[in-house]
Structure 1
Amino acid sequence: MTETIGEFSEGHLLNVAKGLVEKKTKDSKILDAELESRIPKFDVGELSIGRVLGRGGFCVVKEVNKIVLQKGGDDGSGARKSDDEHYIHNIVQDRAFMAQHCIRQGKDFRYAIKTVQDASRKDPQVYVNAVVDLAVEARFLAIVRHPNIIKMRAMEARDPFHGRYFIMLDKLYDIMPQRLKKWKSRKKSGLKLFDMKGKKKQAFWVERLTIAYDIACALSYLHGLSILYRDLKPDNIGFDVRGDVKIFDFGLAKELDESKILEDGTYNLTGDTGSLRYMAPEVALGKTYNETADTYSFSILCWQIFAIETPYEGYNVAMFEKSVIKGGRRPKVNDKWGEKLCSLLGSCFVDNPKRPSMLDVCELLREEINILSDEEIVDILDTSRKSQMSANG
């Protein structure tokens, strides 16, 4: 019997979602059906699903405890033999390889699946939005390759429009909200940020600068592909088993069509998209915007990483709209962060698209890190090198 959601059948809603995804992606110049076809496919019956790792607005992420390939399929006899960590993290993994390496060093599970959560199946519009977001995310993740963007390792064997679709991702071991809590606890314990001495103070500051840099590099990479992320916030920043930054959740990502650019360099795009606390004013007001909307979101998140405080804490929606969106209020920068960083944040805080590019932001942050570090780390932070390393991953 066909399930109903509200007054509609699930089949009808899935057809609606399919039409919306086709409309959103039909003019894409970067999405690649051939690349998508190469992504390994699994049936849910091949997976042993464990605990819930996290929930978002539409979806739930769960741990994958075991992969058992179905008989008649690839039984793993031709699996790659390398256990090298670089190989595992950066090379495209086939079904047999994933089944053999589901557990890392005998203790940690490597993978997680993301699927529409049951709560999203109670309202027709919410359900359609959930299916669309997951399908769009899968298409973008099939083509993006960057060390600071989460890797999609596999997907459900059928298309996204049958009702129980999932994508398989690398498991994350920490997320930014948890990291911020740890930093805040460290701060409250008496280890004041600017009262620390010597290398301990510098290391704590460089740690946060480097995280900001990695996020900036990921955004710069996306903008180079004409992808606008549109949902930057702590909840969408995680850390893998090695502690590397990973941006995830691409449900609101949008490919910019340069043939539709306006004279002022902006585009007619959907307004009120993303999280209000981090949303650029022009997006919140329904005006035209471009990739520097991500630059604004980054500047608010960057301030939060530096200050270890929640921006606009205690504001309700009405206060936020009046003071921040319309009134131009911004978080107060700390002079102790240095003139260049304070100036950078100020230039990103402006309420119009005339902001620095994320490439410019990357370059300034890298300069600051190199100045403060004991050794030259250009090679370590060189995003082009890191991107090349993971080009096949």
Structure 2
Amino acid sequence: MPTEKKIGGYSEGHLLKTAKEAVAKKTNGSIILDPEAEDRIPKFDEKELLLGRVLGRGGFCVVNEITKIKLSDANDNSTNNGNSHHKLDDEHHIYNVVQDRKFMSTHCIRSGKDYRYALKILQDSSRKDPQTFISGVVDLAIEARFLSVVRHPNIIKMRGMALMEDPFANARFFVILDRLYDTLTVRVQKWKKNQVKGIRKMFDRKGKRALAFWVERMTVAYDLACALKYMHELRIIYRDVKPDNIGFDVRGDVKIFDLGLAKELDCAKDNGDGTYQLTGDTGSPRYMAPEVAMEKPYNERADCYSFAILMWQILQMETPFENYTVSMFNKKVVAGGARPKCDDKWPKIVNGMMIRGWGPLAQRPSMGEIAECLRDEINRVSDTEVNEILDLSRKSEMSMHKQKYAA
């Protein structure tokens, strides 16, 4: 009988049992998680998936593109949903249809070497340290459970998961996601490189392309705000708003991904003032609300702080607090209240929203209020010609993307 694998002196089985207990504790009392919904997610054996290049690595996991899905059971009971007659380039249909194993196998390749799906699994470096291993298993399990019930056009879709007896406590557990292109980090760099010259003419109605550039960034921010608003309405706090957790699909639609730190708020555990005693120091320091960094009680409006900092980055196209050391950041930002400087050229309503957003917890606007502010600003400056420029830009980007992957 083979010896059970050990990680840092602990058996893998013991660590997985600990991880399973942690997942159960973190999701205890949930009113939205649904085992039946989890059961309906298509299941795959890892051997059925042919993986391509690495798309990215996070704190615990690695993401690979899936180049082929070869079903091992020829008589699969799932159906094609009657969708075989749809064209492969009908992306609206492809992204919104309820996909099963056969459908995914048939539609794995979009065109040439342009693949539709990606696999996320615990990376090898996370299997060497006991605490890292447990944290990685727990994060991926929680993300899968939330993604099985969360449905929003600006939140990544989970299309499948590992076929195994105890999926949320298995070292080889994986999820299949829609493949994304670009993170917001990369997109901001592109925006800065390609920004329209003469930005001071942004609100000159004759400067259509400068205006379209502004509307494009505001629209990305609005879509993100709507996704966070949706999560907050489900009483889910995301807790890791940052550019590296935001991507774009082949159509250019922005998507929030990586829900490993998401937490469903339990009304029964309210401190009486709308805050909760949640795990502190959670997320990425640059975007983390001060109350979270200082391990004080907080609520979903910690996400609003993070969004306000992110919003500044989208508009300024610079990394906030870029040259701060850790000690400088803790002293000036966390304890001292230092914040990015808003540009006077930006609309007052937008600047006011950001300033309130990164202000004291009790004074922050909700994500609903933030989304409404952004929508009003987009409506104020948009017109038909600007929208046509944006549409043309997106079509051009999609065309370039298809040419790149067809080569």
Matches within 5 A, 1:1-393: 1=2, 2-74=4-76, 78=80, 80-81=83-84, 82-83=86-87, 84-158=90-164, 159-187=167-195, 191-194=197-200, 198-375=207-384
Matching residue's letter, 2:143: E
Q: Is the 8 A contact 1:281 1:352 kept in 2?
A: no
Q: Is the 8 A contact 1:75 1:96 kept in 2?
A: no
TM-superposed CA distance for 1:181, in Å, is 1.2
Q: Is the 8 A contact 1:42 1:157 kept in 2?
A: yes
> Does the C-alpha gap of structure 1 residues 155 and 377 become closer, same or farther in structure 2, counting only changes over 3 Å?
farther
Range that drifts further, 260-269 or 312-321: 260-269
Q: Is the 8 A contact 2:154 2:224 kept in 1?
A: yes
**CA–CA separation in structure 2 for the residues paired with 1:375 and 1:138:** 40
TM-superposed CA distance for 1:166, in Å, is 0.4
Fraction of identical pairs, as percent: 59
Matching residue's letter, 1:35: A
TM-superposed CA distance for 1:78, in Å, is 4.7
TM-superposed CA distance for 1:193, in Å, is 3.0
Matching residue's letter, 2:96: N
Q: SS of 1:36's equivalent?
A: helix
TM-score, structure 2 length as denominator? 0.89
Matching residue's letter, 2:349: K
CA offsets, 1:112-160, max 9 Å, x none? 0000000101100000000000000000000000000000000000113
**CA–CA separation in structure 2 for the residues paired with 1:33 and 1:75:** 21
User: What stretches of structure 1 of length at least 5 have no aligned partner?
Assistant: 379-393
Q: Is the 8 A contact 1:230 1:273 kept in 2?
A: yes
Matching residue's letter, 2:91: E
Matching residue's letter, 1:71: D
Matching residue's letter, 2:341: K
CA offsets, 1:61-91, max 9 Å, x none? 0000000101354188756313342221012
Q: Is the 8 A contact 2:305 2:357 kept in 1?
A: yes
Match of 1:381 in 2: none
Q: Is the 8 A contact 1:213 1:362 kept in 2?
A: yes
> Does the C-alpha gap of structure 1 residues 108 and 181 become closer, same or farther in structure 2, counting only changes over 3 Å?
same
TM-superposed CA distance for 1:377, in Å, is 11
**CA–CA separation in structure 2 for the residues paired with 1:78 and 1:221:** 30
**CA–CA separation in structure 2 for the residues paired with 1:359 and 1:280:** 18
> Does the C-alpha gap of structure 1 residues 77 and 270 become closer, same or farther in structure 2, counting only changes over 3 Å?
closer
> Does the C-alpha gap of structure 1 residues 28 and 214 become closer, same or farther in structure 2, counting only changes over 3 Å?
same
Q: Is the 8 A contact 1:215 1:245 kept in 2?
A: yes
**CA–CA separation in structure 2 for the residues paired with 1:355 and 1:262:** 18
TM-superposed CA distance for 1:195, in Å, is 5.0
**CA–CA separation in structure 2 for the residues paired with 1:114 and 1:336:** 42
Q: Is the 8 A contact 2:78 2:100 kept in 1?
A: no
Report how many residues are paired.
376
TM-superposed CA distance for 1:107, in Å, is 3.9
**CA–CA separation in structure 1 for the residues paired with 2:75 and 2:200:** 59
CA offsets, 1:156-189, max 9 Å, x none? 00113221110000000111111111122224xx
**CA–CA separation in structure 2 for the residues paired with 1:335 and 1:113:** 44
Q: SS of 1:269's equivalent?
A: coil
Q: SS of 2:169's equivalent?
A: coil
**CA–CA separation in structure 2 for the residues paired with 1:257 and 1:65:** 41
Matching residue's letter, 2:250: V
Matching residue's letter, 2:331: K
**CA–CA separation in structure 2 for the residues paired with 1:337 and 1:331:** 14
TM-superposed CA distance for 1:316, in Å, is 1.0
**CA–CA separation in structure 1 for the residues paired with 2:262 and 2:304:** 14
**CA–CA separation in structure 2 for the residues paired with 1:199 and 1:360:** 28
**CA–CA separation in structure 2 for the residues paired with 1:213 and 1:111:** 26
Q: Is the 8 A contact 1:35 1:142 kept in 2?
A: yes
User: What stretches of structure 2 of length at least 5 have no aligned partner?
Assistant: 388-407
**CA–CA separation in structure 2 for the residues paired with 1:377 and 1:155:** 41
Moved over 3 A (4+): 75-80, 375-378
Quote the RMSD (CA, aligned, Å).
1.8
**CA–CA separation in structure 2 for the residues paired with 1:375 and 1:202:** 12
> Does the C-alpha gap of structure 1 residues 163 and 214 become closer, same or farther in structure 2, counting only changes over 3 Å?
same
Range that drifts further, 65-74 or 287-296: 65-74
**CA–CA separation in structure 2 for the residues paired with 1:77 and 1:316:** 55
Range that drifts further, 102-111 or 276-285: 102-111
Q: SS of 1:60's equivalent?
A: strand
